[in-house]
Structures are given as C-alpha cells and as structure tokens.
Amino acid sequence: MNWINNVVRPKLTGIWKKKDVPDDLWVKCPESGQLIFHKDLQDNLYVVPGSDYHMRMRAKDRLDMIFDNAKYSVIEVIKGIEDPLKFKDQKKYSDRIKDARNKTEMDDALLVAQGKLDGSEIVVAVQDFAFMGGSLGSDAGGAIVAGMLKAVKEKVPFVLFVASGGARMQEGIFSLMQMPRTTVALQRLREAGLPYIVVLTDPTMGGVTASYAMLGDIHIAEPGALIGFAGPRVIEQTIREQLPSGFQRSEFLLEHGMVDLVVHRHEMRATLGRLCALLMKQPVMEEVAISADEYATDEAHEDVLEIIREEADLKKSTAPVKKASKIKKKTPASSTKTKPSGAATKKSDGAS
C-alpha cells in the first residue's frame, strides 16, 4: 500500500491543487471599474480602452514611449547625503529609501536620459510617483539640475514629465532648497535660449507645482491629471465652500489659462516632436533627413520619406546642370585670353 500513498496520492493531489495566480494580471480601472489584462494595458500606454482613463506610468515606460526606437542613454547624477537629518518617524528614512529602491529599481524619484526624438537630440527627465510619491529630495533636485545643464551643454531642448506629491518632508530644509536650486539651473537654460517644456501628469502637487513645474515655456497636461498646490479637500475645509466640479483637473486649468495644452498620451510623442522643432526653429525636414533610414519601417513617416526621396532625385537631376553652367562661364574667359595675342598681331602688321 505504500505505492498508493507515495505515488498515486501525490499525483491526485497535484491535479486538484489550486494554482497560485499573480495578483497583477488584471488591472481595474478606477473610473469605470473595467478589468483589463496587464499586457493589453501596457501596449496601450496605460490608457484604459473603454473609459480612456490615463493611469500612472513608470519612468522607464515613459522614456521608452518618447525616444526613437526606445533608445537612450541615462545621465549619471552625483548623489548627495542619503539621510542628512537622520530622520525617523514610524520608520527610519534610510529604511524607507531602501524599500523604495527595491520596489522601483530606481536610485531616486527622478530619471534623466538623452536620446533622439524624431531624429533630433533631446534631454528628458521623468518623475516616478511610485518612488515615495515622486517627492522632491536632494537627489531628485540634483537630477533635474544635471539634466538642465546637460541640455545647455548639448544645446538641445529639455522636457520634464512631472508626477509628484511635493517636497520630501524627511529632508526638511534640504528638500525646500531644491526649489530655488532648480530655478537657478532653469535660468541657465533660458539664457542659452533653449526650450523648456513641462508635461504635467497625475498628480502634480505641493512645492513642485510652486517651483519648476510651472516655469516652463509651454505647459502640457495629460487628461484628468490632478494639478495644484494644496489638495481640494484642504481647500474646502479652509474656505468652507463647495468647490466646482472638476476643480484642479487639467481640463479645468486649461479653461482658466493655467496650462497651454491638454494632450492625449497617444499623441504626446508627436506633439513634443513638433513643439521642439518649432521652438528650435528646425523644420521637420531637417530633423529627419539625416536619419531617414531609421524611419524606413515606420508607417507614420512614409510621407516624409517620399519627400526626402523627391529632394534627393531633384539634387541628382540638377547636379549636371550646375557643371554645364560652369563650363559656359569659362568660355568667355578663354576668348578674352586670346584677345591680347590677336591685338599683338595687328600691331605687328601695322609696324610692318
């Protein structure tokens, strides 16, 4: 009977045993309650197909979305003191940073990278709300400064995706000092005459809104993003009045002139490419003509490729004409050179 207990029973138990299913296979839309498979949501840039709700996006996914062929180089940032105040509440601040790094696989709340957008160089910084609510600390401020100075050095546009709850309270005054620090670096960008485009995502709040998030040349917001300084509940409790519907949402701010554009995530890359070309005074043709081979497999650039080919054929057809015109110009010059010899013969005849 041992073979029944040792062989048959384990096999039967394995057949009827309930398999563990990961919890993150299906994602529920906070607005409509719709369930969507996580791979489908990722392929749709984390926009729920039914409700068009824009879910929060990780920093790496945003960089992959913006840069050509998802190719870019991460800009290294000098790290500061990890826990300058030795802060401790229910948990040590140093332990919170370690947990956030293990969870997000990031050094801090901000990631800076350089790459190409529609064939032109660009520097992009992205705040990740998954890292301690995207809070602004010393290292995050240093990353923004490094990105802006890199843009000044390379003479390229600087684009910042903002997603933050505000200053990081565990760093106290060191966190608040990042507000003027980033503003000074932004002034360097302005003096160089380079574009600074800010993309406000959900949420953008607190000291971040009061500093670099609202100092851009152009402010773009994603649909439905919460943007403000204090939260709506705090405001209601302070003024003791009911706030209007959609207060502090991107559409409300667009109506009242706080942002310039509300752009769907699917159109964000194309919009940024056009704005960068416009602000840098570079026609689209000049941007993509050099790197046309990179777009050979992209259906969205077929029209551009056709124009490039037509220009190339035109240059080939006009090249022989230019050579012929040069030869014609040489002909009168050669005739003028022979005149002195002719004049000399006439003089000799007269002398004789």
Residue ranges covered by each domain of the chain: 18-55, 56-301
User: Residue 266: its pLDDT value, please?
Assistant: 97
Q: What is the dihedral of CA 32, 38, 43, 44, to 10 degrees?
A: 10
Lowest mean pLDDT of 27-31, 196-200, 279-283, name the range.
279-283
For residues 197-209, average pLDDT: 96
For residues 12 and 299, give the distance between their C-alpha atoms in angstroms, rounded to a whole number: 54
**280 vs 308, higher pLDDT:** 280
pTM: 0.75
Q: What is the dihedral of CA 168, 171, 174, 179, to 10 degrees?
A: 0
Cα 14 vs. chain centroid, distance in angstroms? 49
CATH classification (class only), 56-301: alpha beta
Model confidence at 95, pLDDT cuts 50, 70, 90, reads very high
- Give 79-94 pLDDT, tens digit per residue: 888 899 999 999 999 9
* Sign of the Cα pseudo-torsion (253, 256, 260, 265, in order): positive
- Provide the percentage of residues in the chain whose pLDDT is more than 90: 70
Closest-CA residue to 268 (of 329, 332, 213, 200): 200
Amino acid identity at 349:
D
Question: Is residue 301's pLDDT more than 70?
Answer: no
Dist. CA 123–CA 117, nearest whole Å: 9
Query: Among candidates 134, 80, 71, which has minimal Cα distance to 106?
Result: 134
Model confidence pLDDT, tens digit, residues 120-166 = 999 999 999 999 999 999 999 999 999 999 999 999 999 999 999 99
Decide if pLDDT at 295 tops 90. Answer: no
Burial 177-198 (b: 16+ CB within 10 A, else e): ebbebbeebbeebeeeebbbbb
